[in-house]
Amino acid sequence: MENSARQATRLDAIHGRYDPWLLFVSIALACTGVVMVGSASLGVAATHEVDAFYFLTRHLIFLGVGLGMAFWLMRTELKTIEQHNQWLLLVCIVLLLLVFVPVIGKQVNGAKRWINFGPVGFQAVEAVKLLYIVWLASYLKRFSEDISATWGAMLKPIGVAIVLVGLLLMQPDFGSSSLLLAITAGMLVLGGVNMPRMFGPVLIGLPILAVIAIAEPYRVIRLTSFMNPWSDPFGTGYQLTNALMAVGRGEWTGVGLGASVQKLSYLPEAHTDFIMAVIAEEFGFAGVCAVVGMYALLTGRALWIGLKCVEMRRHFSGYVAFGIALWMGLQSFVSIGVNLGLLPTKGLTLPMISSGGSSVLMSCAALAVLLRVSYELDRAQRQVARLRGEATQTAAPAASGAPSTATATPAAVGATRNSDAARGTSRLRERVEPSFGRSA
């Protein structure tokens, strides 16, 4: 008992480290956002007759609050977050219902997506994305065996997603609804769902989404106008034509920071939804490749960390990493695709770069949780390495000092040592690495 206590103390003294690639790309995206919001918002500020740096100051304030939240989350154990998983789903539903409550809900441009906090509005769906990912990761961990074996275990998260999507469509917010469904499908696949069973809900859901997409006239216009925006450049194709002119003007290396013309009241939402077009104009093809590369690095690294967690049976951590990777990867893909005319116009921001308080806050929180996953993974790897080393050192003297060793064959001695080391390592790993996934 005393030896076990001393060993546990030594293991507790081992600390992990945050993944340097994730830390680098998070800081790079935040810095890019500050620079580009400062540049892209100058024309918007003039249109709204406010101070030239109003939107930049606002962005910096939200980024500062987001960093404070991030530092707190980076020091919070994931098991503490996992313990409150059922409450997180309830919070998701409450947040999406609050936007319909008079006085509390805030309507902007005909959409009820914001919760009113006095002078500041918070977009509820941004928090729902992260909370839902954490809940779904916990669900996949608790029902990892059933999710691939039974219809009920697979359909439950799909049913929860449909409820959340229904509330989002009432706002309306078709872009976030599609993103939430895509994250759900991706996490179920990565969580080991039976693929033939998955085809049924997908084949049923896609036609329903298509019907919903064409049910509203403004969605039909968005779907058709992006195919040929030049047919009505001053009407339905106004946003996209100006975005494409900005992209074309940037050519290979851009016109230089601050020299964009389209941001001067020509390109709508230049500092939010269409900030990528400003990046393309000021930094050209090289700037676009740099931004795409940062999101590719973020998504790829998050998926790699999630895979390593699952390999170490830290399933909750792994599924959280998978969910955040899907969120950041899909949302950045859609936002960039809209700016380049590859996808219909959607109201999705570019994570960590676009101006927007809710998006900046929750992107900071998501990256902080992802960094915490990398920290606990590295800590577990260091603890296992320490235990393996101690088990090997303990097994070797015991084997060499045994009375029967003198007469045993070398092969028998080696087998005994390997067996003792394996048993010692297995017992020690169970103390440090409890199963975070598959239940008996």
Mean pLDDT, rounded, of the chain? 83
Task: Note whether 55 and 36 are within 8 A (CB).
Answer: no
Q: How far apart are the first and last CA of the chain?
A: 28
**Number of residues that make up the chain:** 440
Q: Is residue 330 packed enough to be buried (19+ CB in 10 Å), middle (13-18) or exposed (0-12)? A: middle
**What pLDDT, on the 0 to 100 scale, is given for residue 266?**
86
Q: How far apart are CA 356 and CA 380, in angstroms?
A: 36
Both structure tokens of 41:
């918002």
Q: How confident is the model at residue 219 (pLDDT cuts 50, 70, 90)?
A: confident
Over 90: is that where the pLDDT of 237 sits? Answer: no
**Three-state secondary structure call for residue 107:** strand
Res 67: pLDDT: 94
Cβ neighbour number for residue 343 with a 10 Å cutoff = 18
Q: What are phi and psi of 111, to 5 degrees?
A: -115, 135
CA distance 124 to 130: 11
Q: Is the pLDDT reported for residue 422 higher than 50?
A: no
Q: Quick check: 374 pLDDT over 60?
A: yes
Of the candidates 346, 49, 364, 378, the one whose C-alpha atom is nearest the C-alpha of residue 177 is 346
Q: Answer yes or no: are the C-beta atoms of 70 and 55 closer than 8 Å.
A: no
pLDDT digits (tens, 9 = 90+) for 382-415: 888 888 877 777 776 666 554 544 444 444 444 4
Does the pLDDT of residue 130 top 90, yes or no?
yes
Q: Are 361 and 125 in contact (CB under 8 A)?
A: no
Token pair 């709204």 in the structure block, residue: 48
Structure tokens at 253: 């290396």
pLDDT tens per residue across span 31-52: 999 999 999 988 888 887 788 8
pLDDT of residue 412: 45
254 or 397, greater pLDDT? 254
DSSP output for 109-173: TTEEEEEEETTEEEEHHHHHHHHHHHHHHHHHHHTTTGGGT-HHHHHHHHHHHHHHHHHHHTTT-
Rounded to the nearest angstrom, the gap between the alpha carbon of residue 224 and the centroid of all alpha carbons in its chain is: 30
202 burial type by CB count under 10 A (0-12 exposed, 13-18 middle, 19+ buried): exposed
